[in-house]
């Protein structure tokens, strides 16, 4: 069994901090309530551009500074169908990559197994709530050069793929909660967000050294 899967393919080794994060710059993470998080993102139509590569680099660095497992483009204020990830599955296999114009495939309802597990979001800083997600997911899309990709996930990585794809249709995990649980999550965010922002600032400074 591989220890790491890069862009859907097993590899022998990969640095803890990928080259994308080394090259990138930290961007501000949008917060729930901002309009860019609540609308469907635009398809990427120009592949292989320096601008697209730079955006991916910046998203990786921003994700690491914020201690995230995934990050969608609208979480850095960019209205494009793109997300990056560095996320383990339930077997401890690390999955790293980016996906453009993703289309999510879930198991048929008769074979679908829902797992209730705690979920957080970099755009809901400091909050964590139980959210039902299927235990398997497949996402089809493209890499930054326009090559087709099929990314399969189980367990926590399947949750990550569903969470990030939700972002690109204008949803956060709060939209999957009851009104009561949503209010509770927003109270958590208000109580903890400044501590989260402070930790991110420290990590950004450490990474810049």
Q: Which residues are catalytic?
A: 164
44 and 135 Cβ atoms separated by less than 8 Å: no
Q: Residue 138 half-sphere exposure, CB side, CA atoms within 13 Å?
A: 8
Between CA 91 and CA 71 the distance in angstroms is 22
Q: Which residues pair with 128 in a beta bridge?
A: 120
Extended beta strands in 17-127, E state: 70-72, 82-88, 94-105, 114-120
What secondary structure letter does DSSP report for 81? S
């Amino acid at each position: 069994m591989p220890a790491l899967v890069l862009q859907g393919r097993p590899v022998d080794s990969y640095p803890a901090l990928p080259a994308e994060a080394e090259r990138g710059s930290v961007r501000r993470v949008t917060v729930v309530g901002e309009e860019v998080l609540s609308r469907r993102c635009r398809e990427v139509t120009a592949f292989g551009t320096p601008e697209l590569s730079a955006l991916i680099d910046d998203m990786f660095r921003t994700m690491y500074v914020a201690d995230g497992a995934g990050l969608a483009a609208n979480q850095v204020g960019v209205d494009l169908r793109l997300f990056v990830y560095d996320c383990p599955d339930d077997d401890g296999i690390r999955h790293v990559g980016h996906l453009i114009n993703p289309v999510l495939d879930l198991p048929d309802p008769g074979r679908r197994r829902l797992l209730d597990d705690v979920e957080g979001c970099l755009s809901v800083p400091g909050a964590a709530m139980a959210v039902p997600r299927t235990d398997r997911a497949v996402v089809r899309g493209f890499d930054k050069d326009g090559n087709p990709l099929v990314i399969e996930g189980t367990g926590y990585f399947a949750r990550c793929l569903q969470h990030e794809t939700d972002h690109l249709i204008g949803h956060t995990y709060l939209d999957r909660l009851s009104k009561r649980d949503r209010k509770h999550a927003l109270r958590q965010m208000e109580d903890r967000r400044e501590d989260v922002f402070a930790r991110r600032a420290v990590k950004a400074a450490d990474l810049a050294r």
